[in-house]
Amino acid sequence: MDYKGQHILSTKQFDRDGLLELFEEAKEMESGGGGLSGKLMATLFYEPSTRTRFSFESAMLRLGGGIISNADMVATSSHRKKESLEDTGKVVSQMVDVIVVRHPEEGSVAELVGKSDVPVINAGDGAGEHPTQGLLDLYTVWKEKGDLDGLTWGMVGDLKNGRVPHSQADLLKYFDVKFVYVSPPGLEMPEKYRAGNYSESNDLREVIGEMDVIAMTRVQSERFKNEEEYKKYAGSYVLDAGMMKGAKKDAMVLHPLPRVDEIAVEVDSDPRAKYFEQVKNGVFVRMALLAKVLKG
Ligand code: CP
């Protein structure tokens, strides 16, 4: 697939061949990158982040490019003077070659794209999508298992508000995957993200043994009206060493992080825990994506 000059806003822009091509390129990036010397990336974050912003910036620097960054657009940009997202996109696009944006409202990254003269990459828009997290999640599993076809992929937690399960589901529809959705009542996977072959449960212990991938996600506190609403769901699932006894011997535990309490720290030493590996893989996937968007 040709991503040169494209905005990357949604998982819907990828297909099976495009994904596999990107994964091969990410694997090559693991042994070194380059080729974006003289290119500049701006990271505009209207919502907190540890991994995604650093990961994009690490990826661009490893490719030989440069970065300008604002980690708190809400407090320190002309957003405070009521500049529109469209104008911000237009203005920043005069200074850089690619823009990476995170925003708390679904659809807002697409709004910033409106008048941008350079590609914009969605780094998470509210409860909508987080395409590059989805890409790195699939890459982590593909790299270890050698394939995505034939897997049973469990998604556990706040499937309603979690943009990561949404992006995973959208990307996995190109593969022969069976989904097991596990969520508390009220936080089920929205209809529009449900893929063909799936089952649902509220009880992780009951279904964990079916899963090749146990993709955990936290209850998204920032998407609830108030603390009281959030507390109804907080702590719904805690994956601990005891529960891992019921998981397959070669299962993979994913989590986009940050975690709150949904994976006990004791699980970190279980070789099936892959969430820190995901962080490393994210840099290579973003290197591959930036190279594709800027060089073709
Ligand atoms: N996984 C992820 O998006 O983490 P951050 O919120 O820290 O970027």
Distance between Cα 138 and ligand 1 center (Å): 16
Q: How confident is the model at residue 282 (pLDDT cuts 50, 70, 90)?
A: very high
Give the percent of the chain with pLDDT over 70: 100
Q: What domains sit in the chain, N to C, each tagged with a CATH number?
A: 11-129+280-294 (3.40.50.1370), 131-275 (3.40.50.1370)
Distance between Cα 256 and ligand 1 center (Å): 7
Q: How confident is the model at residue 1 (pLDDT cuts 50, 70, 90)?
A: confident
% helix, strand, coil for the chain, step of 5: 40, 15, 40
- Is residue 52 within 6 Å of ligand 1 at its C-beta? yes
Give the percent of the chain with pLDDT over 90: 91
CA atoms of 290 and 200, how far apart (whole Å): 36
Tell whether the model's pLDDT for residue 61 goes beyond 90.
yes
- Is residue 51 within 6 Å of ligand 1 at its C-beta? yes
Of 103, 130, 163, 255, the catalytic one is: 130
Active site residue 52: yes
Active site residue 53: no
Residue nearest to atom 3 of ligand 1 (CA): 52
According to the model, what pLDDT value does residue 2 have? 86
Q: How confident is the model at residue 34 (pLDDT cuts 50, 70, 90)?
A: confident
Tell whether the model's pLDDT for residue 31 goes beyond 90.
no
Q: By three-state DSSP, how is residue 5 classified? A: coil
Tell whether the model's pLDDT for residue 70 goes beyond 90.
yes
- Ligand 1 atom closest to the CA of 123, numbered from 1: 3
Tell whether the model's pLDDT for residue 33 goes beyond 90.
no
Q: How confident is the model at residue 27 (pLDDT cuts 50, 70, 90)?
A: very high
Over residues 106-150, the pLDDT tens digits come to 999 999 999 999 999 999 999 899 999 999 999 999 999 999 999
- Is residue 278 within 6 Å of ligand 1 at its C-beta? no
Token pair recorded at residue 63: 């490719």
According to the model, what pLDDT value does residue 111 have? 93
Of 81, 82, 225, 245, the catalytic one is: 81
Answer yes or no: are the C-beta atoms of 46 and 74 closer than 8 Å.
yes
Question: Strand order of the sheet with strand 213-216?
Answer: 198-201, 178-182, 152-156, 213-216, 252-254
Active site residue 163: no
| Listed range (28-37, 211-220, 230-239) with the worst mean pLDDT | 28-37
Tell whether the model's pLDDT for residue 22 goes beyond 90.
yes
Residue 264: C-alpha distances to residues 113, 233, 253, 268, 289 (Å): 39, 17, 12, 8, 33
- Ligand 1 atom closest to the CA of 55, numbered from 1: 8
Tell whether the model's pLDDT for residue 195 goes beyond 80.
no
Which residues touch 38 (CB under 8 Å, ≥6 apart)? 65
Residue corresponding to tokens 């469990």: 154
Average pLDDT over residues 18-25: 95
Tell whether the model's pLDDT for residue 196 goes beyond 90.
no
- What are the backbone dihedrals phi and psi of residue 8, each rounded to the nearest 5 degrees, phi first? -115, 95
Tell whether the model's pLDDT for residue 275 goes beyond 90.
yes
Tell whether the model's pLDDT for residue 271 goes beyond 90.
yes
Handedness of CA 236, 144, 165, 224 (dihedral sign): positive
Average pLDDT over residues 178-188: 97
- Ligand 1 atom closest to the CA of 124, numbered from 1: 3
